[in-house]
Structure 1
């Protein structure tokens, strides 16, 4: 009964939670100077075989997340190993298990063992800080120990439900805390599904392997609804990755805590223990790096409510089926139906993506809220902007099968257009055009230095500049020399026309109404010519409302590309959508994922499906 009470109360809190709901426990977590001193001593004595290994030791020992490199963090995210970037409930279980065996081996009384366990647990929670999963695990452990102390045994489902209910009563903000949800759901899988799954597996394989598969799979299945809510894609190698690394977690935790204990008394021993812990952490780094380089690291899954609903259904039906109660027959048919539906969708999506790239001439990358647009002719490739994230644009180039970039255009130096530069820098082989606007932001210097590091100099793009990419002729139509008419970076965006022979492409960067008006007045003849042929326009500024209506009414584009992602700016604005819809078709990366366009007697397009991995 308490399970349903806790679940129902949690659901009500989640549904009616304020937009800015936050955990009171986290906000008011005590900052104890002596604890902070111990943490700093541990970090100052940290040693290891690599920077990433040291970062994982710090994360798994005291919950320090700031040392993990962005590359490793992305690899861990792709493989659903993020629980190893910082302390989780599993680490607390390891600590309490070690304390139990230590006190039992010393023949301590039961009451003394409970007291020591509570003291150690309290100190550990203070050491690692306000980690939702640790708070959940500690509260659950109190209920378990209370049941054992009273001689009533321990029901893990009852303990979990009681812990969740108590914490939500004390701190309703935890209802929307992702870490708390993942921890509680993973534990529910471990106590509700893992035991019966293990019973089915142990007769078919090694018992240790069966236990590992049951625990890992159960946690993954039960947390899948939350994972899909955050990122609607399946981590293909997550079970394998967790199986390979879980053997290292306990040694890292114990050795890391020994390093903490020695940090205040003997720095040499502290460094030694952290170095030994880093050997196990390096194994995790190697596994993450190896598996994340494999193809199809994440697989597309049903987006939105459908994906979450099917994940919930799979967890419920599988649990009921394996537990073998009177609902087993219904669960069997329900599970089969959901799996058939899900596998069919995934299979269709894989087929669509496998044949998606093909012979494209224009390829709009899905890089979130930012621009990255590929053009190809006669084996040569141009890239207009690189988006906000190196990983995303690199993945786009891989999907589009691009090995080299003969022309790179950075329309202006806003981060959503240039921050992904490091993801493509190794593919640059030709010319790089940039806006001539005098921009004092540090990202300009960093980007320029990165380009020059591969032996390429940047060239200021100015009106009238032209060139050839394969069979495609390109022409810069804005800004003017030195961007003297521009008032800011957006207004100085590089705008270009690409003539593919059978059709044209017009790219506008982040130009607003004023910049479009300058082109409208200065390039009237060219715009009239574009209006007479099949035309694609990369709509300015992700489809903001700052558009010149008569500009779009004149060119009457057949396709309007909106390179846009989730954002707080209201992009694309209804006004911008209406301007395109009045004459042509709207194509949006936030809805359609990557978009490939080619000409075969007429303009044809294919959508890759919303990329979420």
Structure 2
């Protein structure tokens, strides 16, 4: 007997959910007037659509059969009634979607207006240090970094800010990064900190330079309470106490201890795979999980909750428990899971989404589950519009939708395949895990591309290889965590059992991450847009095929002979279109993930430090095939080779930090690519020898280029995606080196700004004077930069104070290989080593830098991640690539 034909998916609420998410993401970027106009327009659309739906109601009804010939002639045909019913449904869905969009738009407008009234919007715009009162929202986690000092990231709620601690009418969610002391913070605690705030694409980022301090942030009132906040849970000496985590923190610690010492990387992965606790992961394992597209596994996700719910469902069905009891048991299991892991918003969201996915996959209720998903998602965004910008919610909705729409038919296809070679229970288990993992990954991939601009080349095979190990770890590991305090021996035995599949996942991650081109940038410009459209279309077509094949009705009687149905021989237009879409999307995806040819710059490069021998040259990407160049090296040939390798067709501007030949000699190469604006720094007119050496050993000087304008302290200009500010240009300097312009440049990339600090050849005494504030008209050295161009090719006379004063992610030394000056000096390298990554053009050749988007919570995979690939908030990470463009064939 055939299985009952599944009900059609009810997508009437889908437009409302899509509209809510779209408006929630776009509205924060609109002005208050624009938001009001959009709201009015959406209300008008809602009214018009509602009126249309009511008008079509009569034609959609099935009327009483007409009695007279005249009535029969005037009556609507079944086809007309069907078309009218479909139009009425579409009009109703449009009316609801427009109304939801208007509600979200107005809610955002009210919130933005309140932020402007209390001054929070102005504080974010100023990007100056400010004291804030915070409440910790999630467990902090360590940022994996190859740059030295441990850093923490945590999602917080801002409750008050400023010297007077202005209270927030509605707490503002933010992502905070800070020193390792923040790793001791626990959810629910109230702390105080001085932070540097900024807002990017609707997300608030806070950068703390010191450990958290106990609340309150201001002197207490006579009644002992701080205005506008709750008392903090903290210990003495200004150190936040982890006791606020209570039993949950003790459970996590005990579970980490039990996992410690297990096979391979299992001890690092088990706490994350079960509880979302990644604190035990080493930076190497953490990075391998990201590059392989598996980082979502070590987070509380809806897919894992679905597997947990499915295990309970399967067990109780074997015991022939009735449906109502099974449903109650699933709900109880998810509640217990939330209690064990922690009732954070992201965990609650994952449990809800996982329950909906389980309802569709194991309960055969895809129609109802999809409707509930749309209703729940819409209600959440209408209630809290700010959640629309969080990738956590976007990924949760996408992954759950993927499971609801595709997992059941995919599981059926896989079961028919595995059923021929495996026992029934094994075939069912393997097909379920593969279906859940693959459908969630495919649904989330377009969102991840938009957020990160990168694609994990081996994510799909890696997830398929790891999928069979996920279910036992999730189910048994949750049981072990629940028993770790009550029955430690039983918990330890379960952990011993799951160490093998956990170590296997670690092995898959490290092997896939080590393959060539594991993480590839998505192309920019028109090509990237076309490939993205093809990918989305192919994904939608694939889900459509799965749904259609599930609903295809098979004849209950096998027909043979002349009555047998014809097989093949007929191609439909829709079938051909679907095949073309899937093939095109797969082809485009393959073109991206294939490794780039050696020596070719990645498509998403932002900054390049050229190997021009013993000299300096940096290229800042200002647009497609355009650049701003800072210094040009000693000779035109290597400068031209670098620009050609980077695909630069036009130079917008050339900034010469000072007039020494090793920084200006290659100017003709830049001038040949258009008519760039020329800027230079040098000593003042009254100082002897304009642009010429003033001391023994100083490099040969040059004259200012014709048409060049002098860089002066305080100058600020921009060209395309590049903005630069002259922090200091000392015209009264005694030497040309010390007259070097100190330039802070910002390159706007698709994943946020990338800041580069150029120091020219400034020497130690001049740098010390600047740091000490002896230049009243000069801005202070920047507190942070992604990249720091080390002064004077790494010579010892550059000093140590300036690089130590600027918190940079990487320090770049431009020097020629085997140069006669011994640059960079070993003492300089010793100073830089503990500060961050040190990159040398004499060793690596031309260094090309890209900005990757990730998050403090590992936003690098398609999961509806509980800890938030979530907060989803992008945090910068640098990726380096070496080119061979130098005068000696480049570096190694």
Common fold by TM > 0.5: yes
Pair 1:588–1:40, CA change in 2 (3 A): closer
Question: How far does residue 160 in structure 1 lie from its aligned partner after superposition?
Answer: 2.5
Question: How far does residue 188 in structure 1 lie from its aligned partner after superposition?
Answer: 1.6
**SS state at 1:299 partner:** strand
1:315 counterpart (539, 563, 581): 539
**SS state at 1:65 partner:** coil
Structure in which a larger fraction of residues adopt helix: 1
In structure 2, the residue matched to 1:10 is: 21
- Range with greater deviation from structure 2 (152-161 or 248-257): 152-161
**Cα distance in 2, alignment partners of residues 84 and 198 from structure 1:** 20
Q: Are residues 1:80 and 2:293 paired?
A: yes
In structure 2, the residue matched to 1:329 is: 573
Q: How many residues align?
A: 454
Deviation string, structure 1 residues 207-246 (Cα, Å, up to 9, x no partner) = 7577666544433322112111222232221111111111
In structure 1, the residue matched to 2:599 is: 356
**Cα distance in 2, alignment partners of residues 66 and 596 from structure 1:** 36
Contact 2:137 2:344 in 1 (8 A): no
Question: How far does residue 203 in structure 1 lie from its aligned partner after superposition?
Answer: 6.8
**SS state at 1:354 partner:** coil
Question: How far does residue 337 in structure 1 lie from its aligned partner after superposition?
Answer: 6.0
Contact 1:320 1:331 in 2 (8 A): no
Q: Are residues 1:223 and 2:466 paired?
A: no
In structure 1, the residue matched to 2:400 is: 187
Map 1:98-497; keep pairs closer than 5 Å. Answer: 98-104=311-317, 110-129=323-342, 134-140=347-353, 155-196=368-409, 208=427, 215-303=436-524, 308-321=532-545, 323-324=547-548, 329-330=573-574, 332-333=576-577, 336=580, 340=584, 343=587, 347=591, 353-354=596-597, 356-357=599-600, 373=609, 375=611, 497=662
**Cα distance in 2, alignment partners of residues 205 and 119 from structure 1:** 32
In structure 2, the residue matched to 1:41 is: 254
Larger Rg: 2
Contact 2:307 2:474 in 1 (8 A): yes
**SS state at 1:545 partner:** strand
**SS state at 1:269 partner:** helix
Question: How far does residue 169 in structure 1 lie from its aligned partner after superposition?
Answer: 3.9
1:546 counterpart (726, 743, 764): 726
Q: Are residues 1:63 and 2:63 paired?
A: no
**Cα distance in 1, alignment partners of residues 431 and 314 from structure 2:** 24
**Cα distance in 1, alignment partners of residues 546 and 338 from structure 2:** 36
Contact 1:6 1:165 in 2 (8 A): yes
Contact 1:92 1:138 in 2 (8 A): yes
Question: How far does residue 81 in structure 1 lie from its aligned partner after superposition?
Answer: 0.7
**SS state at 1:302 partner:** coil
**Cα distance in 2, alignment partners of residues 135 and 119 from structure 1:** 13
Contact 1:65 1:85 in 2 (8 A): yes
Pair 1:15–1:51, CA change in 2 (3 A): farther
Pair 1:160–1:590, CA change in 2 (3 A): same
Pair 1:140–1:202, CA change in 2 (3 A): closer
Contact 1:262 1:269 in 2 (8 A): yes
Q: Are residues 1:91 and 2:304 paired?
A: yes
Question: How far does residue 322 in structure 1 lie from its aligned partner after superposition?
Answer: 5.1
Q: Are residues 1:526 and 2:700 paired?
A: yes
- Range with greater deviation from structure 2 (7-16 or 261-270): 261-270
TM-score, normalised relative to structure 2: 0.41
Question: How far does residue 57 in structure 1 lie from its aligned partner after superposition?
Answer: 0.9
In structure 1, the residue matched to 2:561 is: none
Deviation string, structure 1 residues 448-469 (Cα, Å, up to 9, x no partner) = xxxxxxxxxxxxxxxxxxxxxx
Pair 1:496–1:233, CA change in 2 (3 A): farther
**SS state at 2:280 partner:** coil
**SS state at 1:264 partner:** coil
Pair 1:4–1:194, CA change in 2 (3 A): same
Question: How far does residue 285 in structure 1 lie from its aligned partner after superposition?
Answer: 0.8
Question: How far does residue 6 in structure 1 lie from its aligned partner after superposition?
Answer: 2.1
Pair 1:18–1:302, CA change in 2 (3 A): same
**Cα distance in 2, alignment partners of residues 294 and 138 from structure 1:** 34
Contact 2:615 2:663 in 1 (8 A): no
Contact 2:360 2:366 in 1 (8 A): yes
**Cα distance in 1, alignment partners of residues 529 and 882 from structure 2:** 24
> Considering only aligned residues, what root-mean-square deviation do their CA atoms show, in Å?
5.8
Deviation string, structure 1 residues 280-305 (Cα, Å, up to 9, x no partner) = 21111111111111112133433365
**SS state at 1:119 partner:** helix
Contact 1:136 1:183 in 2 (8 A): yes
Contact 1:99 1:117 in 2 (8 A): yes
**Cα distance in 2, alignment partners of residues 144 and 287 from structure 1:** 26
Structure in which a larger fraction of residues adopt strand: 2
Question: How far does residue 157 in structure 1 lie from its aligned partner after superposition?
Answer: 2.0
Pair 1:596–1:52, CA change in 2 (3 A): closer
Question: How far does residue 549 in structure 1 lie from its aligned partner after superposition?
Answer: 8.2
Deviation string, structure 1 residues 36-65 (Cα, Å, up to 9, x no partner) = 433333334433425742221111222212
- Range with greater deviation from structure 2 (258-267 or 119-128): 258-267
Question: How far does residue 338 in structure 1 lie from its aligned partner after superposition?
Answer: 8.2
Question: How far does residue 174 in structure 1 lie from its aligned partner after superposition?
Answer: 2.7
Q: What residue ranges of structure 2 are gaps of 5+ in the alignment?
A: 1-11, 31-107, 113-134, 139-156, 158-170, 172-186, 189-243, 421-426, 553-570, 619-637, 639-656, 671-678, 707-721, 738-742, 761-846, 852-878
**SS state at 2:599 partner:** coil
